[in-house]
Amino acid sequence: MIFMQFRHALVRPPGTSYSAGLTNSTEGPPDLPRALDQHRSYCDVLRRCGLDLTVLAEESAHPDGTFVEDTAVLLPGLAVISRPGATSRRGETRSVEAALRPYFSRMLYIVEPGTVDGGDICAADDHFFIGLSARTNESGARQLAQILKEAGYGSTLVDIRASKTLLHLKSGITYLGDRQLVLSSDAPRIDSFERYELLTLIPEENYAANCLAINGHVLIAEGYPHFADALRRRGHEIMPLNMSEFRKMDGGLTCLSLRF
């Protein structure tokens, strides 16, 4: 991993306007009290993984503000503040930037006309897969690739713009460490993935592809037994979490935090 061990995470509970956020899901509106409960459980698990949490205040002007991952890409000593692809989400970066500043000696920015959502950025050791999506455009991807190159990291663009099911690259791809890559059945296949041991999900469990490896644990969405077994067989210690109210807003486990 870029960060061998994570120590901190930035999170923001869903706020009063949460149900007004962007979504393509047909599962109906989220229930805020349940979403808050699920968020509390998520924070508890992050703490059990050894992380100190910075909890940002909700901002009712930003219904999608709980999905903090999209607002930055973090490297040791360097925070890249993104420019989210959805205009309704642009203002979320301000409070995130302020909260990250004490921890990062350098801050860089994705600038117009570029857009990047952190959910499109998948770090695999010292290499980054950058999703080109409805949210991350070519200018943003190129800006980020250049920043990464100057910081000593390689990157590969992965075009998911033709996908009807993946909002972000990490909706379908997660790196677990030890060269293991989780792929949803609808994730793109590119040659570079052949360098990894691939764990491919069955279509009914694709949502679970967005999982989160932290300090020797793997957080997974509850209710995906085939994937949970596949992880256990490989010796992973899994921590299942009910994600129903985030799934309704197209969110997953990685989206809810920035880890560093």
CA angle (42, 95, 103) in 5-degree steps:
75
The whole-angstrom separation of Cα 259 and Cα 256 is 10
Residue 23 binding ligand CIR, by CB under 6 A: yes
Q: Is 245 in the site for ligand CIR (CB under 6 A)?
A: no
Q: Which of 6, 65, 70, 79 binds ligand CIR (CB under 6 A)?
A: 70
The residue from 39, 62, 168, 236 that is catalytic is 168
113 token code pair: 């006309």
Q: Look up 43 and say whether it is catalytic.
A: no
Q: Does residue number 22 form part of the binding site for ligand CIR (CB under 6 A)?
A: yes
Q: Are 218 and 234 in contact, with CB atoms under 8 Å apart? A: no
Nearer to ligand CIR, 15 or 105 (CB): 15
Return the sign of the alpha-carbon dihedral for residues 220, 224, 227, 233.
positive
C-alpha to C-alpha distance for 76 and 33, rounded to whole angstroms: 35
Active site residue 211: no
> Using CB under 6 A, which of 119, 131, 140, 172 touches ligand CIR?
119
Considering only residues 156-185, where is the footprint of ligand CIR by CB under 6 A? 167-168, 171
Lateral strand order in the sheet of 217-221: 212-214, 217-221, 237-241
Minimum distance, C-beta of residue 88 to ligand CIR, in the bound complex (Å)? 8
Q: Which helix (H) or strand (E) segment is 110 a member of?
A: none
Rounded distance, CA 102 to CA 10, Å? Answer: 12
Q: Which of 67, 175, 207, 227 binds ligand CIR (CB under 6 A)?
A: 67
* Closest distance to ligand CIR from the beta carbon of 107 (Å): 20
Q: Which of 86, 145, 198, 238 binds ligand CIR (CB under 6 A)?
A: 86
Q: What are 230's two structure tokens?
A: 């596949």
Cβ partners under 8 Å of residue 245, min gap 6: 14, 30, 31, 32, 34, 35, 38
CB of 105 to ligand CIR, least distance (A): 25
Distance CA 13, CA 104 (A): 23
* Residue of the chain from 30, 35, 251, 259 that contacts ligand CIR (CB under 6 A): 251
Q: Which is nearer to ligand CIR, 2 or 152 (CB)?
A: 2
Pure H helices in the chain: 32-48, 93-100, 138-150, 225-233, 244-247
CB 203 within 8 A of CB 185: yes
Asked if 64 is part of the footprint of ligand CIR (rule: CB under 6 A), the reply reads yes
Pick the stretch among 67-75, 107-115, 195-203, 235-243 that binds ligand CIR (CB under 6 A). Answer: 67-75
221 lines the binding site for ligand CIR (CB under 6 A): no
Tell me if 250 contacts ligand CIR by CB under 6 A: yes
Binding of residue 13 to ligand CIR (CB under 6 A): no
Q: Which residues of the chain form contacts with ligand CIR (CB under 6 A)?
A: 21-23, 64, 67, 69-70, 86, 89, 119, 167-168, 171, 249-252, 254-255
| Residues noted as catalytic | 168, 255
